[in-house]
Amino acid sequence: MDCKGAGVKNADIDFLQFIHSVLNDYYPGLVNAILVYKLPVVLEAIYKMVRTWLNDEQKKYIYLIKKKTINEYVAKDQLPDFLLGTNTQPYRDVPKDAPNAVELAKRLGLKEGKAEKMIKHLEQFFTE
């Protein structure tokens, strides 16, 4: 999450609760890290409140990172230019070898119903 330039006006508790519930309900086990880039000091109080919604297992996957530490988590050649990286690949393109939802669910040991739930949730974003 790129929080560069964010302020109190950007703090949307309902949206944060939505993200939390979507990841928890639709994508369990799929997120192995959430990188929060350049979180302004003024928003750290809100971050502390959001952390109270998470269990200990979920808390260990959230990292607050800054410009000088981002490359400890993501290689520069994997970052788009707006995050000071050198990757020129369009970030909205789906990689050629990306698994579909059913394959990914199997790989992660999730039930097929979870994959179907993900597909149904994302159908509105599919394009032909």
The stretch 84-106 carries a mean pLDDT of 83
Query: Within 10 A of 40 (CB to CB), how many other CB atoms are there?
Result: 14
CATH number at residue 8: 3.40.525.10
Q: How many independent structural domains does the chain possess? A: 2
Same domain membership, residue 104 and residue 84: no
- Tell if the pTM clears 0.75, that is, is over it: no
Amino acid residing at 16: L
Average pLDDT of the chain to the nearest whole number: 84
**Are 17 and 67 in the same domain?**
yes
- Could you read off the pLDDT of 22-45 as tens digits, one per residue? 888 887 777 788 899 999 988 988
- pLDDT surpassing 60 at residue 60: yes
Contacts 24+ apart (CB under 8 A), 9-15: 10/43, 11/43, 11/46, 13/46
Q: Cβ distance 67 to 53 under 8 Å?
A: no
Task: Give whole-number Cα distances, 20 to 24, 93, 96, in Å.
Answer: 6, 25, 29
Residue 57 sits in the same domain as residue 115: no
The residue segments making up the domain with residue 6 are: 1-92
Q: Are 38 and 2 in contact (CB under 8 A)?
A: yes
